[in-house]
Structure 1
Amino acid sequence: MSSLFENQAPRPLADRLRPQLLDDVVGQDHLLKKDAPLGRMLASGRLSSLILWGPPGTGKTTIARLIADGTAMHFEPLSAVFSGVADLRKVFAAAQKRRADGQGTVLFIDEIHRFNRAQQDGFLPYVEDGTVTLVGATTENPSFELNPALLSRCQVLVLNRLDDAALERLLARAEEAEGRPLPIDADARAALRAMADGDGRYLLNMADEILSLPERGGPLDSAALADVVQKRMPLYDKAQEGHYNLISALHKSLRGSDTDAALYWLSRMLAGGEDPRFIARRLVRFASEDIGMADPGALPQAIAAWEAYERLGSPEGELALVQCVIYLGTAPKSNAAYVAGKAALATAKKTGSLMPPKHILNAPTKMMKSMGYGAGYRYDHDADEGFSGQDYFPEGMARHQFYTPKDRGFEREVAKRIAYWAKLRTEKGD
């Protein structure tokens, strides 16, 4: 039961400004317009089960509540952090009773990814028979965090982080609600929006803090603002999707020789608290996978950067990673070594346990000599051009060309050598 004095208790600005209509929700027009998914559902009066996926502070809970109001369904909120099987059973029982009385139930589960697989499976019969219309909210990729069976029964809607225009609309609403402007200058206002990093709730909490400051001689500038409010830490979970998204962005920016973008993604990872050793390992991998013999110096550079970081630590050692990213980003690119390795491995698996040809086997015993081990071997250093042209593949196996150098960087020279040896091999008849 609500307390007699509940309405007199202080409420955060973000709570007081929570939209009362879907038209008041900012930054999610791609979902809420009349011709958008949620707009069409509400117009038809048929709401299907949904997963709302997006960053914090983008309106997931608000949208869930408002779409329930728009369909005259009962809204039942639960948090996966604080709820268990017993809570769910109570909700399902109440929903079944409501359904018998002709009213549907929107079951909103915040942080739905926190429920384990067995708990998620428990939703299935109630979602399947329409006892509840499930609306789950998550900041994590549903493909990784939700059961396929549950996911197949829900439509996934992606909420965007709030852009600068949407954040400015929230600040204007805050000023209108308070009846006075924020005591900050234009540069500080822009800095405030940047600090929010797309999170509307965080922005309004900062605005609430600024509006509660004692009056002073003039508006806050950017430097004074930084002393008053704390910048929101970048969204980055080292164990979840952000971790893989950003390392993928770094890798692909390097592959595309966009050094400046690669430096940006490196900085995003470091600012988010990523272990620099993880980044160093991936840079070593990149040097072999995407540069290889086009610039044989890339791998030593990547290993040297890793070793430099190990010796210096943070933050000094991070400059070695910056230098390495610049080197790799500006180096000629070739995946020929990577392709050659995969092709050779596939052929090795297919051909099984073929023996090497006897002429390249050592013969340390008389029996092995009598069996022809080492017979006919030609020592390459004694041959003309230092190349005997013998076949080193297993007997009866055709030659394969796994490695095809690209016409880039040092591999141009390697290609010339391979072509020269192929010519000699043909001339020598092996």
Structure 2
Amino acid sequence: MADLFDSGAKGGEEPARNRPLADRLRPKSLDEVIGQDQVLGPDAPLGAMLAAGSLGSLILWGPPGVGKTTIARLLADATDLHFVQISAIFTGVPDLKKVFEAARIRRQNGQGTLLFVDEIHRFNKAQQDGFLPHMEDGTILLVGATTENPSFELNAALLSRAQVLVLERLAPKDLELLTQRAERELGRKLPLTGAGRDALHEMADGDGRALLNLIEQVAAWKTDAPLDPEALGKRLMRRAAKYDKSGDEHYNLISALHKSVRGSDPDAALYWLARMLAGGEDPRYLARRITRMAVEDIGLADPQAQAHCLHAWEVYERLGSPEGELALAQAVTYLALAPKSNAAYAGYKAAMRLAKQTGSTPPPKHILNAPTGLMKEQGYGADYAYDHDSEDGFSGQNYFPDDVKRPVLYQPVERGFERELKKRLDYFAKLRSQRQT
């Protein structure tokens, strides 16, 4: 049964013209792989491993169509290991046991096995643990492929036994090299203008396999003149941008939006907002996160920022999509250009740390109410100074527990409205010092 998963055996070769272009152009050696120099270069991790003859188990993490399967297959060829490919989507525990047993027999006969597991993050934690003994005793050399962040999706034990290599989406220059390789295989140039060629690369969105599929369609067309972007767009649907609303891309893009707002770059902030909306993100989620940005990064430097976000949120609820999304865009623009301060946020976090350190320490008795005679006898409310009766409406008395040294938690910045708040804070600090001496 293990042979059902076995890609090591050579079958009858299918005529080249009947094979998809992506299969016909599959590299024959690691030197032919386009892109991924950060992994395959002479001084890069894989290049160094192969040069030293010390290839270990790997996790290849990257978007679709960047060569994960191809690299795994070529690694087996470069190390004379038997290549076996399985997919976590279609493989259960009984199948895995057969794969491991076949690898064990193969090892007894003097040949190692490179087991390539596509979508390895689809295996649950217990299934991932099942690989560990076979990795440790050398039965298999594991190469896993995943589009998800291994830190979140794979067991710590598995990660400790494998090196994670990050593969990147193909750059425009890589896509052009791949296009030229396809044209040599086809024996003719694609019927595209220069701008049309660039548009084709944009449609591929960094995915080499997607590009080759698009090229096959373009190559089959009969045209009187090269196609420009507009003509190309009429014949091809633009590939949807990769966006997983519950995965890494979701968190990466909201992080990019938040940091663009914090960095006072409205153009970048609008771009990332548009990327998320175009990817199908829930505008209500964005409204909530935008409001959080106002609280965390603008704070009291511009007290209107929160109100602006809440109003934009309400406008979206009334108008819905797509009209209401403009209100969110306006809020993002306002936040990006607003004066920034995280002083209240930092003060709150410092207060939480102090609250945990001081535990259940009671307030000073002079600021406690004394509704009963017994409480008055215990000193509750004694010597409390009613601030409205004090000069300047400020008594300067202590409001912290008696055994807690007065901290400085809120430290306003010299930006926006917090300039005024800092003046008030300094004023009261000066009065407090005078009243306490």
1:36-89 CA-partner distances (Å, limit 9, x unpaired): 222233334332111111110001101111111111111001011111111111
Distance in structure 2 (CA, Å) of the matches to 1:374 and 1:8: 93
Aligned partner of 1:320 among 296, 321, 327? 327
What is residue 171 of structure 1 aligned with on the other side? 179
* Identity score, percent: 63
Alignment partner, residue 417 of structure 1: 424
TM-score (norm 2): 0.93
- List runs of 5+ in structure 2 lacking aligned partners: 1-8
Match of 2:390 in 1: 383
The answer on whether the counterparts of 2:16 and 2:24 sit within 8 Å (CA) in structure 1 is: no
State whether residues 148 and 248 of structure 2, in contact with CA within 8 Å, keep that contact through their aligned partners in structure 1: yes
Distance of aligned partners of 1:343 and 1:5 in 2 relative to their CA distance in 1, 3 Å threshold: closer
Assess, with a 3 A threshold, how the Cα gap between structure 1 residues 154 and 410 changes in structure 2: closer, same or farther. Answer: same
Alpha-carbon distance in 2 for matches of 1:295, 1:18: 57
Aligned equivalents of 1:322, 1:294: Cα separation in 2: 21
Within 1, Cα distance between the matches of 2:297 and 2:239?
A: 35
Pairing 1:364–2:371 present: yes
Query: Secondary structure of the residue that 2:18 maps to in structure 1?
Result: coil
User: Offset of 1:193 from its aligned partner?
Assistant: 0.4
Q: Does 1:32 align with 2:40?
A: yes
Classify 1:39/1:8 alpha carbon distance in 2 versus 1 (closer, same or farther; 3 Å): closer
Q: Does 1:196 align with 2:204?
A: yes
Q: Output the amino acid matched with 2:189.
A: P
Contact 2:81/2:113, CA 8 A, preserved across alignment: yes
The one-letter amino acid paired with 1:159 is: L
Q: CA deviation at 1:119?
A: 0.8
Mapped pair 1:286 → 2:280: no
Counterpart position of 1:155: 163
Measured after TM superposition, the shift of residue 271 of structure 1 is 1.4
Aligned counterpart, 1:43: 51
* Matching of residue 77 in structure 1 with residue 85 in structure 2: yes
Tell me whether 1:352 sits opposite 2:359 in the alignment.
Answer: yes
Tell me how many residue pairs correspond in the alignment: 429
CA distance in 1, matches of 2:34, 2:374: 85
Letter in 1 for 2:392: E
1:332 Cα offset (Å): 1.2
The correspondence for 1:210, drawn from 195, 218, 229, is: 218
Structure 1 unaligned blocks of 5 or more: none
Q: Measure, in 2, the Cα distance between the counterparts of 1:300 and 1:266.
A: 20
How far residue 367 of structure 1 moved from its aligned partner, in angstroms, is 4.1
Distance change in 2, residues 1:112/1:367 (3 Å): same
Q: Secondary structure at the match of 1:402?
A: coil
Q: How far apart, in 2, do the equivalents of 1:427 and 1:93 lie?
A: 83
- Call closer, same or farther: CA 1:8–1:205 in 2, change over 3 Å: closer
* SS of alignment partner, residue 322 of structure 2: coil
Tell me, yes or no, if structure 1 residue 54 matches structure 2 residue 62. Answer: yes
**Aligned residues of 2:121 and 2:154 also touching (Cα < 8 A):** yes
Give the corresponding residue for 1:255: 262
Take 1:197 and 1:119, find their aligned partners in 2: how far apart are those partners? 33
Partner of 2:146: 138
Paired with 1:313 and 1:266, the residues of 2 have a C-alpha distance of 16
Distance 2:435 2:51 in 1: 80
Shift of 1:355: 2.8
The letter of the residue matching 1:149 is A
The answer for the alignment partner of 1:265 in structure 2 is: 272
Amino acid at match of 2:305: A
Amino acid at match of 1:275: D
Q: Decide whether the 8 Å contact of 2:85 with 2:117 is kept in 1.
A: yes
Q: 2:344 aligns with which of 313, 337, 341?
A: 337
**Counterpart position of 1:123:** 131
Equivalent position to 2:108, from 100, 113, 117: 100
Cα distance in structure 1, aligned partners of 2:307 and 2:291: 9
Q: Distance in 2 between matches of 1:123 and 1:391?
A: 62
- CA deviations 1:400-419 (Å, max 9, x no partner) are 22111111111111111111
Return closer, same or farther for 1:340/1:2 CA change in 2, 3 Å cut-off.
closer
Match of 1:235 in 2: 242
1:299 pairs with 290, 302, 306, which one?
306
Deviations 1:256-311 (CA, angstroms, capped at 9, x unpaired): 22222222211111111111111211111111111111111111112112222111
Quick one: distance in 1 between partners of 2:176 and 2:320? 40
Q: CA 1:81 to 1:33, structure 2 compared with 1: closer, same or farther past 3 Å?
A: same
3-state SS, counterpart of residue 77 of structure 1: strand
Q: Report SS of the residue matched to 1:156.
A: strand
SS at match of 1:242: helix
Per-residue CA deviation, residues 360-416 of structure 1 (Å, 9 max, x unaligned), is 333334444444433433332232222222222233433222111111111111111
Deviation at 1:110, TM superposition (A): 0.7
TM-score (ref. length: structure 1): 0.95
Separation in 1, partners of 2:70, 2:12: 25
Query: What is the CA distance between 1:4 and its match in structure 2?
Result: 7.4
